[in-house]
Structure 1
Amino acid sequence: MRHRGHPAAIRQDMARAVRLEWWNVGWTISIIIVMGITMGGSQAMKTAWVEDTLGLIPPLVFLIASHFEARPSTKRFHFGFHRVNSLGFLVAAVALATVGLLLLWDSAMTLIAGENVTVSSVRFLGHDIWLGWFMLAAQAYSIIPPLIIGRKELPIAERLRDKLLHTDALMNRANWLTGAAGIAGIAGLGMGWWWADSAAAAFISLGIISDGVKSLRVATAELVDGVPRALDSDDLSDEAALIAKALRAHFPKTRILLRETGRYIRAEVIGAHAPKNFDADSFDIPGLECRWRLESIAFHPPGKP
């Protein structure tokens, strides 16, 4: 292994990401408490509360993964722990997709059954107050932290090439959109539209499913040694394309294989002997800014598998 722990190029951003995720966990817990207290019988509030609870998974998994990822290789794990991040990404993706499907089913069944959800009043300081006002306040509060944290996470995730952190940023965006949908659903109940609450819940769950399926595709490809993907799509990442181009130019008539290990890229040159005193660190790759991403270059001489 060339790296012991995180390379110097990303240590500062890793430290920022860890601090930001601890803040994320704290704010999310406060949102879960507030939403749970004011939930009542609202389907939209219930769905939003579940999504907020799911929102704890990516930051917690990131914090665990970042702790193990920085560890050096051991006798039992010769290649280190870089793929812990990939494993955490898969866990978060499966949780998102599964729960999103369950919530969509629940909302659809409520709409089909035509259940009329009512929001009662509560006695507060000697006055009867519609519980919907507390629900609206809770939803409004649930919008603010995800909006701020998600915007801070995106540039860090891009610099770190961290799919788990990027997924968390997308989920934070989904959370504040969920809050907006929840407000519409509660307001609809207040206007007597019995279907508005469940319709808002179904809309929220569709967003959860979409994020989960996209993340699941990328996480699965990474764990089965697929080519390095871009953060926000299934396309080959720019860094991987530059590495492959440079290797093909330097070693023509060979087969270039690339795979992603966490945030790092490993390259293999099939059909060539390693040049004398070859050093992957000094190999020229025009246009590659994130040099730290290239973990290693291995050679397989002609005639060997």
Structure 2
Amino acid sequence: MAAHQSRGHMGHHHNHDTTLLTSSDKHDAAVRITRIGLYVNLGMAIGKGVGGYVFHSQALSADAVHSLTDLVSDFMTLATVAWALKPPTDRFPFGFGKVESLGSLGVSSLLLAGGVLMGWSSVIELCHLYAPAAADLLSTLGLAGHGHSHVHAIPNIQAAWLAGASVLVKEWLYWATLKVARERKSSVLESNAVHHRVDSLTGIAALVSIAVSNVYPTFSGMDAVGGMLISWLVIRAGWGNTRKALVELADAGIDPEVKGKVDRAVKAALESRALPGELRGVQGVKAGQSLYIDVELALPGAVTVAETRETEEVVREGVANRVRGARRVRVRFVSAEERGAGFAEEFISPSVSARSTPEPEEHHHDGHDHGNGELKKRR
């Protein structure tokens, strides 16, 4: 089953349909434009990183980290998808979806740290330019390396060519991806197109900061300011992805949009087979790309076990066909004549304790008491 992953990025969702990255159909337009985007991110991460170092541009270096955020996320998806979609085992009865959540947490944490370090580097550069005393203090505290900046105040104008080229390439990717998205009516590709547009805007920010620093040397710190701005975008994205991974690992419930899809899928499945059943509730959790969904159905008391089994299979198939990422669907049946507490009934009450019905004493066969008498006294 194809799976779908959504990752928060700078205020929007960067969505990837895994099949677009792993498909062997190189002639498919959607697969081709997605692969091109991946290769472009790789080239830009390397090119901007080298260019930022050679041309001494904080803004270009920060933009390289920004390109790296998406590149690493793409490779993380490719690296974990096969493992995360393995079938459940006796030891892991709910499958391996959390593997992807763990991988996402590790990668996003690293990117968050990278954005913080890049932003801090820009702050240090501004201190060297406009607050030498503060720079010396930070150096004394070991927070700013050596007491002199190793980055020129004004970046080499050649860095502007790299920034400008990235803007043009990303704009082309935006329109090319959007064209395929509209032809296919694909929300995944449309989201990727928007992401390319955002990358283009960060490239413009780097280009402007580099140009201003060279045209108006008085604003020599403009490049560092641009680096701080882009670093903030990376930090925001890194924190959003880190928070999302933590929420998934904590088994937060599925969002209302997914619940609505499940609701419609269940009702459509029951209507298609003219089966009885009132949908009472939907809940679930997300593990990586997989969704584990619980459905509560109310049935008439006269329904047989065989009929409930048929209803369960119809509901499971209906949800699987209509809800992307549904990996497991569990159906809970209740009587139509009763109104219970829903899924909360499945939890054991805190008032119930194993101490009220202790297990029989275990006796050892080595002829020694091993403190059982003392244990009885404590009980």
Paired residue type of 1:297: V
- 1:268, distance to aligned residue in structure 2 (A): 2.0
CA distance in 1, matches of 2:87, 2:186: 22
Find the counterpart in structure 2 of residue 106 from structure 1: 121
> 1:65–1:84: 8 Å Cα contact kept in structure 2?
yes
CA distance in 2, matches of 1:297, 1:85: 20
Structure 1, residues 132-172: CA drift from partner, whole Å, max 9, x if none?
1x21111122234444556639959x96879xx96x77764
Asked if residue 266 in structure 1 is aligned to residue 292 in structure 2, the reply is: yes
Find the counterpart in structure 2 of residue 93 from structure 1: 108
Find the counterpart in structure 1 of residue 42 from structure 2: 29
Q: Which deviates more, 18-27 or 61-70?
A: 18-27
CA distance in 2, matches of 1:70, 1:246: 23
- 1:189, distance to aligned residue in structure 2 (A): 1.3
Paired residue type of 2:60: M
Structure 1, residues 73-99: CA drift from partner, whole Å, max 9, x if none?
455544433444433433343233322
**TM value normalised by structure 2:** 0.58
Q: Match of 1:279, SS?
A: helix
- 1:58, distance to aligned residue in structure 2 (A): 1.1
> 1:174–1:208: 8 Å Cα contact kept in structure 2?
no
Query: Quick one: which of 304, 311, 325 aligns to 1:278?
Result: 311
Asked if residue 211 in structure 1 is aligned to residue 244 in structure 2, the reply is: no
Find the counterpart in structure 1 of residue 251 from structure 2: 225
CA distance in 1, matches of 2:34, 2:106: 17
In the comparison of the two structures, how many residue pairs are matched? 276
> 1:47–1:201: 8 Å Cα contact kept in structure 2?
yes
Find the counterpart in structure 1 of residue 259 from structure 2: 240
Q: Match of 2:311, SS?
A: coil
Asked if residue 49 in structure 1 is aligned to residue 64 in structure 2, the reply is: yes
Asked if residue 136 in structure 1 is aligned to residue 160 in structure 2, the reply is: yes
Return closer, same or farther for 1:52/1:140 CA change in 2, 3 Å cut-off. Answer: same
**Which consecutive residues of structure 1, in runs of 5 or more, have no partner in the other structure?**
121-130, 230-235
Find the counterpart in structure 2 of residue 296 from structure 1: 328
**TM value normalised by structure 1:** 0.69
Structure 1, residues 178-200: CA drift from partner, whole Å, max 9, x if none?
21111111111112111211111
CA distance in 1, matches of 2:163, 2:36: 19
Find the counterpart in structure 1 of residue 96 from structure 2: 81
> 1:117–1:194: 8 Å Cα contact kept in structure 2?
no
**Which consecutive residues of structure 2, in runs of 5 or more, have no partner in the other structure?**
5-16, 131-150, 268-275, 300-304, 335-344, 348-379
Find the counterpart in structure 2 of residue 62 from structure 1: 77
Q: Match of 1:72, SS?
A: coil
- Whichever of the two has the greater Rg, that structure is 2
CA distance in 1, matches of 2:329, 2:207: 53
